[in-house]
Amino acid sequence: MSTITRNNLGGGVVRGGALDKLSTSSVNKSLSKSTSSKISSIKQTSTRRGSTGAVNSPKYNAGVPGRVRVAVRLRPRNGEEMVADADFADCVELQPELKRLKLQKNNWDSDTYEFDEVLTEFSSQKRVYEVVAKPVVESVLDGYNGTIMAYGQTGTGKTYTLGRLGEEDTADRGIMVRAMEDILTEISLETDSIHVSYFQLYMETIQDLLDPSNDNIAIHEDPKTGDVSLPGATCVEIHDQKSFMDLLLLGEAHRFAANTKLNTESSRSHAILMVHVKRSVKGKDSVFSNENGSISHNSRILKAPIVRRSKLVIVDLAGSERIHKSGSEAHTLEEAKSINLSLSALGKCINALAENSSHVPVRDSKLTRLLRDSFGGTARTSLVITIGPSPRHRGETTSTIMFGQRAMKVENMLKIKEEFDYKSLSRRLDIQLEKLTAENERQQKTFQDEIRRINSEAKNRIAEVERNYADALEKERLKFQKDYTQLVKKLEDQFKGNQEKNGNGRDRADEKSIAESRILSLSKELSEVKMFLQSETQLRQTAEYELAEVKDQLTHWKKAKGTGNFEILKLRKMLEEESDQKAKLEEEISALRSQLFQMSFKADETRRMLDNDGGERPPGHLGSLIPQDQEARDSHEKEVSMESIFEQVGLNKILSLLEAEDAAVRIHAVKVVANLAAEEANQEKIVQAGGLTSLLSLLKNSNDETIHRVAAGAIANLAMNEANQELIMSQGGISLLSKTAATAQDSQTLRMVAGAIANLCGNDKLQTKLRSEGGLKAMLSMVRCRHPDVLAQAARGIANFAKCESRASTQGTKKGRSFLIEDSLLPWIVQNANNEASPIRRHIELALCHLAQHEVNAKDMISEGALWELVRISRDCSREDIRALAYRIIANNSIFQTELKRLRVDYE
């Protein structure tokens, strides 16, 4: 078997590009008007459906019917057929203008079949993409799921049609490359995202083409919606076309292919490319108007954005073939049988859907489970069937055509899945709140600064005016006082001078005239003083007017301050509403805590009752957490109460409390999860909801030993399921358990950790990884505790590990000595082979028997004294099956027999 890249359409002679180079222009001209109108109508329908997919709230709409579209593509003759069939006409005749195909039954009779599209051997890759895949890609961009699938005989060009990369000639690009180009062109990487998974279905095993070590991927189905997913597959985010091309090259390098008589590069597996598209719906945000009827800016962020999630599945089926024609043999024969079985199961499902049967056998094959949404589901599906012209393969061509005819009868109900993007809404609200708070603080600070500046300016101007007015009044007063004093003194001097000059004999008339002249002079001076006082009064009035204007400005600023306070009150009201919502959330959290405490109390009470009752538990179960069937009947009333609380609270809310800040809440939450994990019906729900990841995170990040003990017990219960064991190992669970064992002080914590590791030891696929990550060393360190419960779990884990090693050695996948011997656990095993506790002794006896089954371990067992314990077990063991096993091993082991003879021990 070889892993090679396919370069031709089929047969190994016609090289890539031959189909497109023959008559590309003529084919493009032959595209009929009816086909163009159909394609445009599909686009309009997709757009119309996309616009009405979400009305007020995201949900699954009623859906619209959509039949599976089928196109047929004819491969040209290859070199071998040109020679072998040179004298024979082609068995098919195409009528592309009528979308018909005639299949020659013999020289005079033929059957006519109609398809949605008929593509001749000259059809270009671009034409094939436009009529087959482009309507599906456009539907995916509008929010619908879509499937593109190729079906046909080996060597007819399925992989060429779908997976051709076109590295040498871009015209050769297949549907996968062209579809991704259209998707990247239409979406915005800032708001949208694309994730791609690429895997193959090989002999009923799903294998990751991007990570070959991931070779057994499990299928998960949503019990509510029925959606099929592969959570274990590698999912890569695509940002450009180059990264997608590199991904396809990596996947093709890991795909299985082989050389057969029908095709030199025959695909031996079904390859499936799964593209997940997440798009934000623009123009769907609701807005709200305020009291005046206008739309406020803040209200635009209150509606959560809507996103559409769609999925494009491109399936390159392995070719159907007849064994005698393909020449398959040995391993290739087994591959062919597996391919034919899966294709047969797909055909049965399509027959049942076409005939409207009440039962569709979807679960008969993993292929039909993966494609349950493509046929009879909610996806828009296009099928291209590929055929060859050779009359030698008329039977295979007829089977392929009939498969396409039946597929055309299948009706799908197309639905758009929309949902609110609450995380984006929360981020937008947080950013808007921060902006409003910062703007409010800035405006308030600016307003206060402006008020202080205006007050300061007003006070300075008033003080300056008052000071100038007082200075002016004081100057005038001093001036008038000085003038008055000078005038009085002058009058007195004049009066005295006149008296001395004229003497006392002057008559009264002269005195009267002098007095009148003086009075006139004084009156004149008084009138001048009055005029001056009037001018000063006017100046005072002007100053008072300016003071009034300053006061008016101050009043205006006070009113502006009141308006600002009103805006501040509105913002405070908004903050109070946010606080009320926060208080409601806190009340809900308090109620959840109360319910959680009740569940934890019931679990603790049940555990104490069971510990008092005693009794031996099954070896793979930690009985301190959940009662067994008999004990469950005794505590039925308590379990009913706990289940009712669990139904009210919900698993997701309980798991969210594992990350609570309150340590008491985390402890009660992990106790409830541990009790739920003991029930097999709850384990898958817990893992799917992220419970396993949360429990491992508690082991890693918490320092509380109580949390470590209960979390380890929950992991031990989950580890009883084989699928969960691989998840625990892939998430580094054994390393975390080993670190917990190294730091634990309590024997019960060590018991839980030992029980979890013991369950993991029973998985054949995890032996090497379990040892490399310290699982065996942790087991050896825990047995030094000497607590009987810890020793019992350690003994069980050693027995499981030895049993898996023995099975691997028998199958030839394990060579060399046992890891238990290499990691120095054999001395402890020998020391406890005759332990007083029966559970410890029974597991150790089984471990010794498994180790002794292979002679490569014999010398080490002899040197450590394990041979004498095997002899004792074969004679004195209380269990007859173990006693017989030990006897048979010693009797068939030549090294043991030689040692017993050397020591002259008679063993019968």
Query: Binding site for ATP, residues?
Result: 152-159
C-alpha to C-alpha distance for 208 and 228, rounded to whole angstroms: 16
The total of other beta-carbon atoms located within 10 Å of residue 54's CB is: 21
Cα torsion 890, 894, 899, 902: sign: positive
Choose among 195, 197, 70, 179: nearest CA to 133. Answer: 179
- Residue whose entry in the numeric block shows the structure tokens 């469950």: 632
Answer for the pair 656, 691: CB distance below 8 angstroms, yes or no: no
DSSP state of 298: G
C-alpha to C-alpha distance for 266 and 645, rounded to whole angstroms: 57
C-alpha to C-alpha distance for 783 and 792, rounded to whole angstroms: 9
E strands along 32-180, which residues? 64-67, 69-74, 92-95, 100-104, 110-114, 117-119, 145-152
Answer for the pair 750, 784: CB distance below 8 angstroms, yes or no: no
Phi–psi pair at 236, nearest 5 degrees: -110, 135
Q: Which long-range contacts (CB under 8 A, 24 or more apart) does 393-396 make?
A: 393/91, 393/153, 393/325, 394/91, 394/103, 394/104, 395/322, 396/153, 396/320, 396/321, 396/322
Q: Exposed, middle or buried: residue 520 (CB in 10 Å: 0-12, 13-18, 19+)?
A: exposed
Answer for the pair 671, 645: CB distance below 8 angstroms, yes or no: no
C-alpha to C-alpha distance for 841 and 831, rounded to whole angstroms: 10
Choose among 49, 41, 94, 103: nearest CA to 69. Answer: 41
Residues in the chain: 908
The total of other beta-carbon atoms located within 10 Å of residue 409's CB is: 15
Answer for the pair 230, 199: CB distance below 8 angstroms, yes or no: yes
Answer for the pair 311, 277: CB distance below 8 angstroms, yes or no: yes
C-alpha to C-alpha distance for 241 and 187, rounded to whole angstroms: 13
Q: What is the dihedral of CA 646, 648, 653, 657, to 10 degrees?
A: -60
Three-state DSSP state, 247: helix
C-alpha to C-alpha distance for 164 and 177, rounded to whole angstroms: 8
C-alpha to C-alpha distance for 657 and 690, rounded to whole angstroms: 13
Name the amino acid, one letter, at 276: H
**In sequence order, what are the residues at sequence separation of 6 or more whose Cβ sits closer than 8 angstroms to the Cβ of residue 484?**
none
Choose among 558, 566, 568, 562: nearest CA to 452. Answer: 558
C-alpha to C-alpha distance for 225 and 661, rounded to whole angstroms: 34
Three-state DSSP state, 195: strand
What's the half-sphere exposure (Cβ side, CA atoms, 13 Å) at 311?
Answer: 20
Q: The tokens of 745 are what?
A: 């002080």
Cα torsion 477, 483, 486, 491: sign: negative
Q: Are strands 306-316 and 270-280 parallel, antiparallel or unpaired?
A: antiparallel
Strand partners, 135: none
Q: Are strands 411-414 and 228-229 parallel, antiparallel or unpaired?
A: unpaired
Answer for the pair 182, 341: CB distance below 8 angstroms, yes or no: no
What are the binding residues? 152-159
Largest CA distance in the chain: 187
